[in-house]
Amino acid sequence: MPQLDFSIFPSQFFWLCISFFVMLFIMGKFIVPLTAEMINLRKAKIDADLAAAAELKQKVEKTLEKYNEALSNASEEANASVLKTKEELNALMERREAELAAEIGRQILAAEKKIEKARQKALSEVDGIAAKLAPIVWKKLDFDKFPSAELQAVVKATGELKK
């Protein structure tokens, strides 16, 4: 193997050093600065993106705060509106109940008056009907003489007791 030949070892070592230093020079002058520049550009872009993201985060937080505040205000307004509507409906229902109770009261009074008139009429007619039925019942029971004056007095007394 030629690499292990000690006679050419010093020349190989020389060219190895020359190649190494040339490559080191090329890397140091051209490649490393370009790579460092790319890294710095990437870092700057990432820093700018992070700064923009932080700025956007603050804006979003402020917007979210405003949104939550608006939502809270809207909720409060809605609750107040519901409460107001509920109170108005309760007042309307109470008013309607009062009107209905008054109307029912009037109808009950009118019905009671009609019933009282019918009762008075019926009571006034009972005496006449009783006076007409008494002789018929008397005859059906096979009694001899009909005491009309006494029966009319009893019917009258019974009518006065009912009143």
For 37-49, how does the pLDDT look when each residue is reduced to its tens digit (9 = 90+)? 999 999 999 999 9
The residues, ordered by sequence, that sit 6+ positions from 1 with a Cβ below 8 Å of its Cβ are none
Phi, psi of 116 (to 5 degrees): -65, -40
If one counts every other C-beta atom within 10 angstroms of the C-beta of residue 134, the result is 18
Q: How far apart are CA 103 and CA 126, in angstroms?
A: 34
Torsion of CA 29, 35, 40, 43, to 10 degrees: -170
- Per-residue pLDDT tens over the stretch 49-107: 999 999 999 999 999 999 999 999 999 999 999 999 999 999 999 999 999 999 999 99
Report the predicted TM-score, pTM, of the whole model to 2 decimal places: 0.43
Task: Kindly list the domain boundaries of the chain, sorted by start residue.
Answer: 2-162
